[in-house]
Structure 1
Amino acid sequence: MLRNYFKIAWRNLIRNKAFSIINISGLALGLTCSLLIFLWVQDERSVDGFHANSDQLFQVYERRSYDGKTEANYLTQGLLADELKKAVPEVEYASSMERNNKYTFEAEDKIYKMEGTFASTDFLRMFSYPLLLGTPSNGPNTISISRKMAEQFFGSPEQAIGKTIRYENKDDLQVTAVFENVPANSSQQFDFLRNWQDYARDNEWANHWESTSPFTFVQLRKDADPAKVADKIKGFIAKYDRYRELDLQPYSEKYLHSNFKNGQIDGGRIEYVHLFSLVALFILLIACINFMNLATARSTQRAKEVGVRKVVGAVRSSLIMQFIGEAILITFISAIIAIVLVFLLLPAFNNFTGKHLILPVTQPFFWLTLLGILTLTGFTAGSYPALFLSSLNPLRVLKGSLKLGTGAMFFRKSLVVFQFSFSVILIVGMIIIYRQINYVQTRNLGYDRENLLYIPIEGDLITKYDLFKKEAAQMPGILSISKMKESPTVIGHQKGGIGWEGKDPTQEVSFSDAAVAYDFVKTMHLTLAAGRDFSEDFGTDATAYLVNETAVKKMGYKDPIGKPFYWDGHNGNIIGVLKDFHFNSMHQAIEPLFVRLDLNPKWGTILVRTSNAKQALVSLENIYKTLNPKFPFLYQFSDQEFDKLYKSEQIVSRLTGYFSFLAIFISCLGLFGLATFAAAQRTKEIGVRKVLGASVPDIITLLSTDILKPVAIALLIGFPVSWYVMNQWLQNFAYKTNIEWWMFVLAAILTIGIAILTVSFQSVKAALMNPVKSLKAD
């Protein structure tokens, strides 16, 4: 019996090559898209899921209430980890960890930049980063390195143990351990770990409760109740800052849930995981709907086959099994093509998304999941054709041509409406996302990011900055030079204890803080709304401040120049007001900012304004290598660093564009099936109309108008849904484009234009048919 079903299904595929190719290609594209998204979603959900103690691992975050609002972030005090371990019995292990950075190492005449950080001794006990050799660094001037770093500097992990490696040309560190390379599905990526004692020794602020910067991780005992521990540590730092409180987040959830709103965890990358999971589901549904429409479009050809089978004794259940079997066969053929396409597309997809995805062909779970998807797809795609064809009355079918009622036509057109509604939502989404990305990239930031270079301050440049600036300023292509801590693209540092004349003493506020050198305003091309920039001609500028317009509004000064301003006891006066400029992502509103002089920072960024970047880089590299020979010359362009702030949105924009194209293409295959079906149903009507004098354009208009009605309905459904969805998405930006009418008009023109091109072939073909043949048709 099964063999007979297979033979019939295969013969039908071969006999109707055009429909088979359309069906298979539609399902193959839908499955390809769904498999790529499935691999991406699976990878996103697997991040940080490999730690053996995952259920006991938590990250501490701080919630702070001030100035009538509540905010939260992951930055904590450097003393917190050790104190929690001492004071809270449920905390088994605890570790501080500074944010990753790139540092210069030298060993055996090799100099490389490696990425890593500082962490407490407990860190490698808590997290599952396997040790290959040695013991984690637990004393001063020791370091644990990855297999990659060991091989790069010493040739092998075995040869690295006990060796000395020079850090930032100032500290000689002993390699005490080598750990396995951090897996790609870890949100933490590092090549080395130095002991937290060294960091606290070199950064005095890390030994005080008033300053925050590192992350704090804890591992609770297995019998501990996380909710009770969170409640216990809530007021742990209240004696140092009554406006702050602590809370816990399961570490396994942080990667996907890292956004905060009103001091509470509220979304993150999980939103994109949900979004693209829905996209995959809907694109696969669109492909299944195509199969349904194309199968019923061929119903006139298969109706007599069904009639004969019923007359000779076939029961309905066997017919249903046959048609669903055909659908599953087509689905499995499509799956083979889809797997080949995924294999070919994965390198480009990985390059685009920054992932390291592979087809997990050796994992039984992958094949079981794929088998489940294919079976479900086959049943979904074949269910309606099977139920419809198996329900046909054999006497009516064998007496004449198949005529369908309005119910069947309504259902089929409803499927087309669903397809195109989703396609419209994706097209409108693509237009608005592209518009928003273009908006943030072209918006006036308040400074000129073109021809602006960032060079890290490290090594001998810390003490030789003035000489570097003097020599570089004389070189062609260089207009001005300054420096600052962090970089102007993201100023994340904030200060509390802010005060000004007339401030309410009970009001707690926080301002962003930028420590800069002379010529900062000139180099950045900032605009002064009032007052002046820092100048070497004024010795008092060491205690003077520049503030932005938002800070002036916050303080309520009408004429701020010369007015007092202080932070944490550092008293001074305001000498200038900067017009507001963006120093963070446009997801955030511009915050109050004060700018102060810091001429001798231990780290930071040199800012170079150029007139000819290519010419300037040659000069800068020569000077750099002369003054700082132990460090590689590195630089970033300001506009490239700015674009990194919107990397996720850029990926979403491009993916939405690709998915929109796929959805509309697959939907048009379904529309082609509907056009074919409509033409077949109205063959005699077309012949009669032509005999009575109807012209070819009249016939084309008649068929096209009827077929395009579902597309028009889809637009009416898709527009409000897409407006709501994209309006919600835009709320993530403090500065955003407007959703305008022309975006919907453009989406409508694209959708209708593509639909017309799709149905025109069948409409023209039907209109040009000889009326004699039309009237003779069965």
Structure 2
Amino acid sequence: MLRNYFTVAWRTLTKSPTYSLVNLIGLALGMACSLLIGLWIYDELSYDRFLPHHEQIHFVRVNYNFRGGETQTAFATPGPLADVIDRDIPSVAATTILSWPSETLVRVGDKVAKETGQYASVGFFDVFELPAVQGNAKTALANLNQIVISQKMAATYFPEGQAVGKTLQLDNKRVFVVGAVLENLPANSTLQFDWLVNFTVEEKEWQSAWTYNAVMTYLRLRPDASPAQAETAMKGLFRRYATFDNKERVILQPITQLHLWGDYKNGVAVGGQIEYVRLFGSMALFILLIACINFMNLSTARSAMRTKEVGVRKVVGAGRLALMGQFLSESLLMSLLGAVVALGLVWLLLPPFNAIFDKRLALDLADPARWVGLLGLILLTGLLSGSYPALFLSGLRPVRILKSAGWRAGTGPAQFRRALVVFQFALSVFLIVGMLTVGQQMHYLRTKHLGLDRDNVAYVTLEGALNDYEKTEQLRQQLLQTTSVAMATTTAQLPLNIRNTSTDLHWPGQPQKQLVSVATMSVGNDFIKTMGIKLVAGRDFRTNSIADTSCYLVNEAAAKLMGIKEPVGREITFWFGKGPIIGLMKDFHLGSMHQAIQPLVVTFMPPNTQYLLIRPRAGQTPQALADLERLVKQANPNYPFAYHFLDEAYEDLYQREQQVSTLINYAGALAILISCLGLFGLATFTAEQRTKEIGVRKVLGASVASIVALLGGDFLRLVLVAILIASPLAWWAMHYWLADFAYKITIEWWVFALAGVLAVGIALLTVSFQSIRAAVANPVKSLRTE
């Protein structure tokens, strides 16, 4: 029976090649989009699940109840916290701390390159049981003279195969012996490093302070322990060991949620990358629905051509279930063909898709999970698109069908088709509004003045010989003596991505035992002038002034936090002890516009800086970069020269938003294309059904314009209804998305008007082709058989 179903289905599809082709293209495009996004979602949901005992591994965060009662969740933790947890909490099996990843120069003989690595405490391999292909990783990390490297790094520097026992040099300073080689970490890992060294080797004094969130902390629970029990046991740790009690609370985040749930509000995980998983999944479903609607529309529209087939089958004994099986087999066959075409499209589109979304996805058909997903997509698409036509056609009564050659299906199917067209174009209008709104917000992010001048600022990392303050200052002065560089400064962090925070700020009148969290950075000479930051009051740090190392600059948000209207001259206590505020900076953005501007304290400590920033003179950027390269190579010949622009670092803050913008643009274009395919098919069918009516109207004097208006008017009304339905839904969705930004655009009325005009224009162009073709046809041909 199944063979007969699919034989008849194949004959039906080949009998009407135009409609079959329209359906096939629409389904293939929708399925290809769903497959691509499905691969992306699968990869996102699989982060860190490769880790042994991943269900026991947790990332440690700390909730701070700062001034005003607001709870802030810190990504980094104080250095001593891990040891205290390990010693005092019985339900914890192991803890470890990690430094921030850093690119460090690696030298093995003549091979020199920068590799990303981290410093980790000895408990790292008790928490993360990563497999080693050579050596003993746990023993190697415990040895201060050994280093653990990845397979990729071993293949680069030791191609002969055996890396353990060989030596390499980090940062042109210390020589390490390779103690172990780890398997390469997969792309879907939040841990990404090519080397590990014992944390003690580079530990700084400030990393052992309770007032400074300096490290990333992980732990592994015992198999019989629960996160809730461990969190309860950790209450009061800060009160017992720190010099303050700010109602701190240690919270544990499962390692498998770290990638997806990065945003915390009032101490609770509220979102992050998971929002984009939901968004991308919804778009995939929307596109697939639009493709399925095409199939439903064309199948129900052509139902009158198959009524006699249904009547004859029922007369000879076919039951309703058998007829439903026949029509569903047709939709499943079309879905299967669409999947074959979709696989080809996915294979072609994966390389650019990976490039846009910074992924390494592969169409691995050897993976059983891929086949299960593909089979599910085929069944879902086939059953969804064929359900209504099967139910409708199988329910027809044979007596009504066969007694009259003029039988019509009635208004039910026509109303259903209209509803589907409205739904289809409502989704398209929704995506068009999304395209316009997201594009506007991205333009706003790129063009908004941030309170400092980020344009045309280049920077290099201070490393090697340039870690010496005197050499760095000499280099800065040499750059200022060139004709191409206008200004230069040094900073500990890039001013548009300040991540360090401190609870070390105190001032007269501060509520007792009430801590505050402030962003902080160290700067060198001419920072304010180079970055174009406006001083509301006071002065900048003086060049090479030792006295100013005990002075501070604060921004307006910090002054507001302290409740001081005129902070210049007031004394505060911070990192370097008690000192006056010498300048009040106008607020500038310290990070992305998702967050409001934080309080900031700037210290003057030229030796404690990591980046050299230059501002070229107008029109002399190429020469300034050439001068920068020449002088940096002279001062630091053992390191490769590499520069970046501050704008690049700023763009990196909005990588997720840029990906959403790209996806919604492609999804919107695809939705419109598939909708137009369906509309084209319906317009073609409508023109065929009304051929004789058009002929009569032309004989009676109807113009081409009036006939085109007659055929296109129905579709135009449906599109207008779709616009009315989609506009409030799109406004709500975009308002929800924009709520994640502290600084955002206002959604203007013209966005909906433009989306509506685009939808109407596209629909008219699609329908007009067939309408004009029918209107200019010779009426003699359509009426000569009458």
Task: Read off the aligned partner of 2:53 and give its amino acid letter.
Answer: N
The secondary structure found in structure 2 opposite 1:448 is coil
Q: 1:316 to 1:535 in 2, by over 3 A?
A: same
The secondary structure found in structure 2 opposite 1:162 is coil
* Structure 1 residue 690: Cα displacement: 3.5
Task: Read off the aligned partner of 1:718 and give its amino acid letter.
Answer: A
Question: Counterparts of 2:437 and 2:785 in 1: how far apart (Å)?
Answer: 49
Question: Counterparts of 2:265 and 2:227 in 1: how far apart (Å)?
Answer: 22
Match of 2:613 among 587, 599, 607: 607
Match of 1:215 in 2: 216
Superposition pairs of residues 79-158 of structure 1, within 5 angstroms = 79-136=80-137, 137-158=141-162
Task: Out of 470-479 and 41-50, give the one that drifted further.
Answer: 470-479
Match of 1:326 in 2: 330
Question: Counterparts of 1:146 and 1:304 in 2: how far apart (Å)?
Answer: 70
Q: 1:14 to 1:575 in 2, by over 3 A?
A: same
* Structure 1 residue 56: Cα displacement: 0.9
Match of 2:434 in 1: 429
Asked if the contact 2:301/2:414 (under 8 Å) is kept, the reply is no
Asked if the contact 2:460/2:643 (under 8 Å) is kept, the reply is yes
The secondary structure found in structure 1 opposite 2:142 is coil
The secondary structure found in structure 2 opposite 1:89 is coil
Question: Counterparts of 2:56 and 2:546 in 1: how far apart (Å)?
Answer: 55
Residue 405 of structure 2 is aligned to residue 400 of structure 1? yes
Match of 2:711 in 1: 703
Match of 2:280 in 1: 276
Match of 1:309 in 2: 313
Asked if the contact 2:117/2:196 (under 8 Å) is kept, the reply is yes
Asked if the contact 1:37/1:277 (under 8 Å) is kept, the reply is yes
Alignment deviations for residues 662-697 of structure 1 (CA, whole Å, 9 cap, x no partner): 111111222223323433444444344444433221
The secondary structure found in structure 2 opposite 1:341 is helix
Match of 2:267 in 1: 263
Asked if the contact 2:331/2:385 (under 8 Å) is kept, the reply is yes
Superposition pairs of residues 566-645 of structure 1, within 5 angstroms = 566-567=573-574, 570-601=577-608, 603-611=609-617, 612-645=620-653
Residue 740 of structure 2 is aligned to residue 732 of structure 1? yes
Superposition pairs of residues 646-685 of structure 1, within 5 angstroms = 646-685=654-693
The secondary structure found in structure 2 opposite 1:616 is helix
* Structure 1 residue 502: Cα displacement: 4.5
Task: Out of 20-29 and 764-773, give the one that drifted further.
Answer: 764-773
Question: Counterparts of 2:583 and 2:89 in 1: how far apart (Å)?
Answer: 48
Match of 1:197 among 184, 196, 200: 200
Match of 2:453 in 1: 448
Question: Counterparts of 1:130 and 1:479 in 2: how far apart (Å)?
Answer: 52
Alignment deviations for residues 191-221 of structure 1 (CA, whole Å, 9 cap, x no partner): 0001122233xx1122232222111111111
Asked if the contact 2:102/2:116 (under 8 Å) is kept, the reply is yes
* Structure 1 residue 494: Cα displacement: 2.2
Question: Counterparts of 2:100 and 2:677 in 1: how far apart (Å)?
Answer: 51
Superposition pairs of residues 277-426 of structure 1, within 5 angstroms = 277-398=281-402, 399-426=404-431
Question: Counterparts of 1:449 and 1:650 in 2: how far apart (Å)?
Answer: 19
Superposition pairs of residues 220-239 of structure 1, within 5 angstroms = 220-239=221-240
Question: Counterparts of 1:206 and 1:512 in 2: how far apart (Å)?
Answer: 16
Question: Counterparts of 2:252 and 2:777 in 1: how far apart (Å)?
Answer: 73
Alignment deviations for residues 725-776 of structure 1 (CA, whole Å, 9 cap, x no partner): 1101101111001100111111111111111111112222333344455557
Task: Read off the aligned partner of 1:654 and give its amino acid letter.
Answer: T
Match of 2:484 in 1: 477
Aligned residues: 774
Match of 1:489 in 2: 496
Q: 1:396 to 1:675 in 2, by over 3 A?
A: farther
Residue 189 of structure 2 is aligned to residue 183 of structure 1? no
* Structure 1 residue 509: Cα displacement: 2.2
Asked if the contact 2:77/2:213 (under 8 Å) is kept, the reply is yes
Task: Out of 67-76 and 134-143, give the one that drifted further.
Answer: 134-143
Task: Out of 295-304 and 587-596, give the one that drifted further.
Answer: 295-304
Question: Counterparts of 2:372 and 2:509 in 1: how far apart (Å)?
Answer: 69
Question: Counterparts of 1:246 and 1:669 in 2: how far apart (Å)?
Answer: 56
Residue 558 of structure 2 is aligned to residue 551 of structure 1? yes
Task: Out of 736-745 and 12-21, give the one that drifted further.
Answer: 12-21
Question: Counterparts of 1:559 and 1:210 in 2: how far apart (Å)?
Answer: 27
Question: Counterparts of 2:603 and 2:785 in 1: how far apart (Å)?
Answer: 88
Match of 1:23 in 2: 23
Task: Read off the aligned partner of 1:46 and give its amino acid letter.
Answer: S
Match of 1:462 in 2: 467
Question: Counterparts of 2:516 and 2:295 in 1: how far apart (Å)?
Answer: 61
Task: Read off the aligned partner of 2:420 and give its amino acid letter.
Answer: L
Task: Read off the aligned partner of 2:305 and give its amino acid letter.
Answer: Q
* Structure 1 residue 156: Cα displacement: 4.4
Alignment deviations for residues 55-93 of structure 1 (CA, whole Å, 9 cap, x no partner): 111111100011111100221122222221221121111
Match of 2:506 in 1: 499
Question: Counterparts of 2:191 and 2:158 in 1: how far apart (Å)?
Answer: 24
Q: 1:709 to 1:400 in 2, by over 3 A?
A: same
The secondary structure found in structure 1 opposite 2:213 is coil
Q: 1:499 to 1:206 in 2, by over 3 A?
A: closer
Q: 1:380 to 1:537 in 2, by over 3 A?
A: closer
Match of 1:77 in 2: 78
Alignment deviations for residues 96-129 of structure 1 (CA, whole Å, 9 cap, x no partner): 1111111112122322111010112221232242
* Structure 1 residue 566: Cα displacement: 2.8
The secondary structure found in structure 1 opposite 2:237 is coil
Asked if the contact 1:5/1:325 (under 8 Å) is kept, the reply is yes
Gaps of 5+ in 2: none
Alignment deviations for residues 535-563 of structure 1 (CA, whole Å, 9 cap, x no partner): 13865322222222222333344433323
The secondary structure found in structure 2 opposite 1:214 is strand
Residue 518 of structure 2 is aligned to residue 514 of structure 1? no
The secondary structure found in structure 1 opposite 2:597 is coil
Question: Counterparts of 1:424 and 1:289 in 2: how far apart (Å)?
Answer: 16
Match of 2:771 among 733, 756, 763: 763
Residue 750 of structure 2 is aligned to residue 749 of structure 1? no
Q: TM-score, normalised by structure 2?
A: 0.95
Asked if the contact 2:687/2:770 (under 8 Å) is kept, the reply is yes
Q: 1:72 to 1:760 in 2, by over 3 A?
A: same
The secondary structure found in structure 2 opposite 1:230 is helix
Alignment deviations for residues 578-625 of structure 1 (CA, whole Å, 9 cap, x no partner): 222112111111122222210211x51111111223212222222212
Match of 2:40 in 1: 40
Q: 1:397 to 1:502 in 2, by over 3 A?
A: same
The secondary structure found in structure 2 opposite 1:460 is helix
Root-mean-square deviation (CA, aligned residues, Å) is 2.0
The secondary structure found in structure 1 opposite 2:76 is coil
Asked if the contact 1:491/1:583 (under 8 Å) is kept, the reply is yes
Task: Read off the aligned partner of 1:251 and give its amino acid letter.
Answer: I
Q: 1:4 to 1:497 in 2, by over 3 A?
A: closer
The secondary structure found in structure 1 opposite 2:214 is coil
Task: Out of 312-321 and 144-153, give the one that drifted further.
Answer: 312-321
The secondary structure found in structure 2 opposite 1:582 is coil
Gaps of 5+ in 1: none
Q: TM-score, normalised by structure 1?
A: 0.96
Task: Read off the aligned partner of 1:3 and give its amino acid letter.
Answer: R
* Structure 1 residue 296: Cα displacement: 2.0
* Structure 1 residue 266: Cα displacement: 1.2
Question: Counterparts of 2:657 and 2:784 in 1: how far apart (Å)?
Answer: 58
Match of 2:169 in 1: 166
